[in-house]
Structure 1
Amino acid sequence: MRGDDPLRRLERRVRRQVDARRAFRRLLRSLPAIAQIVAGVVVAYAFAREVLGHELPIVAVTVTISALGFARDARPRRVLETVVGILVGIVVAALIVLAVGRGVWQLALILALALIVARLVSPSAGFAVAAAVQSMLVAVLPDPEGGVFERAIDGLVGGVVALLVTALIPRWDVVRARGESRALFSLLVESLSGVAEALRRGDAGAAELALTRSRRTQPLIDEWRALLESARAVAAYSPWLRRGRARLAAEGELLEAADLVTRHVRSIARRVEILVRDGLDRPGLAQLFDEASVIVRALGRSVESPSARDRARVLGLALSGELAPDRVPGAVRVPDQVVVVLLRSLVFDTLIVCGLTRAEARQALPPL
């Protein structure tokens, strides 16, 4: 057991280092949101207190924090939905307090009605939670000097400030969502390289690993799509992001291309995982997938470097000429030829993404 102690200490040290790096990355990605929230709270508090004369504008502060939050989905529509939910809770609570006063059963009534109204108004669970939390503030705290509806005014101040901050202080972690694209294309390249290795050595384990990697791509696609939609929504009305709209449009095209490539890679990985169970080496097919992985890597760099798309087009045209079963060494069996046909579809769509017309891409492929 003593001999295991150094290994265990090393394992614990490595785990702590990994956790520390993750925590630091999490903090870096949260800094734009922190800047937004701090700026919004200061503005909302100062306006409600100094301009409107509200002594304790707690609702203005809490509404701003709740509406902005740390969610990477910073679409103005999401912020507005949160604000409306908060105002619904405040107004429902204020009306009940005016009608029946405060107390234990009144608190239960306020909470129940706030949740009921919120669920009728919006299908969003966050909307209902925001309404419930703010209704409880109205139900529990004593009335301010301006009356119970003063908090509704503070809530409106917080909501307006949150929307302004979303436009004027955009979150660059959302607008520049390149981490997801890099991770996705890296995983696609690894999957294609794994397919090539499985075919080269007849390795069922490598094929299974490639298939597993290809299945991990969908969450990255979904997150990238959500972040891109959020960035487009902010850029549509933020004065600072007008120049970024063209880049976001180009990134949207790349996302659609990545979605197509992902579907093809999954189909290929499933087919190859079955094919290599016979243990045969297929170096001719493996070479094709080595070249395909280089094309996908170049395509993934095309947003940051326009020349990378040109390179992907050139490589795709070069590979397309080899994609006929009679031109691939060893591809004499029908299952092998099916893999070649699947790769043709991948290259065909890649060529279209790179600027060729469907007719040009079809002409670049040899007849079957």
Structure 2
Amino acid sequence: MPPRRGLSATLAFLRKRTRIGFRRSSSSVVTALQMTVGAVGAYAFAEEVLGHEGPLFAATSSMIALGFSRDPRVRRVLEVAVGCTLGIAVGDILLTLFGTGLWQAALVLFVSILLARFLDSGTIFTTQLGLQSLLVVLLPAPDGGPFTRSLDAVVGGLFALVITMLVPRDPRREPKTDVRGLLGELSYVLREGAVALRESDATRAWHALVRARATHSTLEGLTTSMRSAEEVARISPAYRRHRDELGSLRQAVGFIDLAVRNSRVFSRRLTSVINHAALTDEAIEHLGQALEDAADGVDLLSRALSGRDATERSLNLRQARIELAAVADQLHPEPLHIRRLEGEGLVLLLRPLVVDLLEATGLSHEDAAAFLPRL
């Protein structure tokens, strides 16, 4: 590569990284402020009020509980406090049995990690239990006994919970962002399927399948952010009024999950149908239009579930229901001009996907299925 081109590529990379870094930092200001106040406040309380010398675990436990992880904060606080206490207990027991030394420390750490994994799958719980048991063996106990550290961890966790309750931070933001991203992917998969069908491009249909399969991590992140958001709405007085909205969003997410799973099955079957040239030109046009209309309904559903204004959300939700109901009404081989068995199977796979989307708009299963023509 010529030196000038290499320099241009390096500068472009640095500009991109700088832009991403600034965006990430600017979106983290509130969380960073919460972590700073929580850590310093917990340390000062444990030192000045409780009289503990160098209560580092008060500061660290508060930072862990308030950190950038999406795991629910109450769970993080419990993992820190219980892991810290249990780790000290395990370390003391093993210290009494085997004494101090490097091989004893290795044994304590190994046993503590396995015990933590036996008791709970949480990463923070395992880290805290292993760390505390190791420190008990390697370091002298602080004034007040080894369980002083456990009390410090509880103090830090309580400070984190208080900040969560009192500092405004809309719990709906992350799950709504995740829902918008997930529905955007589903819309893309449906539109790619329509294009693949019209161009008889099985490779493009396969790429849509790969894209649908790649949403698994997004679904997992959405589940975690929903759990965290509902927890914040439950413990924070400022956001209790959003509990019903979050409950409705959780219900919709369950049906969206089913729709995404069905889209994978549909895309895989579409690849086979294209390879076997199982549809007439007329059937291709009608089915492709149905897929595009379904994608339009998904876009409306995305705007409805991710919007902040209640009136706008209601209007988009109603319009999405109308659009998806119109798609459901077409899902019969005859109006789609489908004659062969392969095409009929494709329609049968698309029907539950559209029903799932209609249920995500708030309809019951019976009402959503009623839009489908009888086979």
Interval containing the TM-score (normalised by the shorter chain)? 0.7 to 0.9
Partner of 1:292: 294
Segment of structure 1 superposing worse, 33-42 or 119-128: 119-128
Partner of 2:130: 132
Partner of 2:310: none
2:326 is the counterpart of 1:328: no
Q: 2:350 aligns with which of 343, 350, 362?
A: 343
Partner of 2:322: 314
User: For each residue in 1:99-141, what CA deviation from the matched residue of structure 2 results, as whole angstroms up to 9, or x when unmatched?
Assistant: 9876545644654564465455434443232122233444444
Amino-acid identity (%):
36
Partner of 1:150: 148
Deviation at 1:206, TM superposition (A): 1.8
2:194 is the counterpart of 1:180: no
Asked if 2 retains the 8 angstrom alpha-carbon contact of 1:86 and 1:134, the reply is: yes
Which 5+ residue runs of structure 2 have no aligned equivalent? 308-312
Deviation at 1:65, TM superposition (A): 2.7
Aligned-partner Cα distance in 1 for 2:109–2:302: 50
With over 3 angstroms needed to count, the CA separation of the structure-2 counterparts of 1:195 and 1:56, relative to structure 1, is same
With over 3 angstroms needed to count, the CA separation of the structure-2 counterparts of 1:32 and 1:95, relative to structure 1, is farther
Which 5+ residue runs of structure 1 have no aligned equivalent? none
Aligned-partner Cα distance in 1 for 2:97–2:57: 21
Partner of 1:302: 304
Runs of 4+ aligned residues of structure 1 deviating over 6 Å after TM superposition are: 95-101
Deviation at 1:322, TM superposition (A): 2.3
- Letter matched to residue 205 of structure 1: T
Partner of 2:18: 20
2:232 is the counterpart of 1:230: no
Asked if 2 retains the 8 angstrom alpha-carbon contact of 1:72 and 1:174, the reply is: no
2:264 is the counterpart of 1:266: yes
Deviation at 1:58, TM superposition (A): 2.0
Query: SS of the residue aligned with 1:53?
Result: coil
Partner of 1:199: 197
Aligned-partner Cα distance in 1 for 2:60–2:133: 12
CA RMSD of aligned residues (A): 2.9
With over 3 angstroms needed to count, the CA separation of the structure-2 counterparts of 1:247 and 1:24, relative to structure 1, is farther
Asked if 2 retains the 8 angstrom alpha-carbon contact of 1:198 and 1:207, the reply is: yes
Q: How many residues align?
A: 365
Asked if 2 retains the 8 angstrom alpha-carbon contact of 1:63 and 1:86, the reply is: no
Partner of 1:354: 361
- Letter matched to residue 291 of structure 1: D
User: For each residue in 1:34-64, what CA deviation from the matched residue of structure 2 results, as whole angstroms up to 9, or x when unmatched?
Assistant: 2332121112111111112223222322332
- Letter matched to residue 270 of structure 1: R
Output aligned runs, 1:240-279, within 5 Å: 240-278=238-276
- Letter matched to residue 277 of structure 1: N
Asked if 2 retains the 8 angstrom alpha-carbon contact of 1:76 and 1:166, the reply is: no
Asked if 2 retains the 8 angstrom alpha-carbon contact of 1:85 and 1:131, the reply is: yes
Aligned-partner Cα distance in 1 for 2:243–2:147: 41
Query: SS of the residue aligned with 2:71?
Result: coil
Partner of 1:214: 212
Partner of 1:48: 46
TM-score (norm 1): 0.86
User: For each residue in 1:278-315, what CA deviation from the matched residue of structure 2 results, as whole angstroms up to 9, or x when unmatched?
Assistant: 46752222111111110111112222122111111111
With over 3 angstroms needed to count, the CA separation of the structure-2 counterparts of 1:141 and 1:162, relative to structure 1, is farther
Q: 2:371 aligns with which of 350, 364, 367?
A: 364
- Letter matched to residue 334 of structure 1: L
Aligned-partner Cα distance in 1 for 2:339–2:174: 47
With over 3 angstroms needed to count, the CA separation of the structure-2 counterparts of 1:366 and 1:95, relative to structure 1, is closer
User: For each residue in 1:247-266, what CA deviation from the matched residue of structure 2 results, as whole angstroms up to 9, or x when unmatched?
Assistant: 21121122112112212211
With over 3 angstroms needed to count, the CA separation of the structure-2 counterparts of 1:290 and 1:174, relative to structure 1, is closer
- Letter matched to residue 17 of structure 1: R
User: For each residue in 1:306-342, what CA deviation from the matched residue of structure 2 results, as whole angstroms up to 9, or x when unmatched?
Assistant: 211111111123223322211124x222212222222
TM-score (norm 2): 0.85
Aligned-partner Cα distance in 2 for 1:8–1:353: 50
With over 3 angstroms needed to count, the CA separation of the structure-2 counterparts of 1:85 and 1:148, relative to structure 1, is closer
Deviation at 1:270, TM superposition (A): 0.9
With over 3 angstroms needed to count, the CA separation of the structure-2 counterparts of 1:339 and 1:45, relative to structure 1, is same
Deviation at 1:357, TM superposition (A): 4.5
Deviation at 1:190, TM superposition (A): 0.6
Deviation at 1:360, TM superposition (A): 4.0
Segment of structure 1 superposing worse, 186-195 or 60-69: 60-69
Aligned-partner Cα distance in 2 for 1:205–1:116: 47
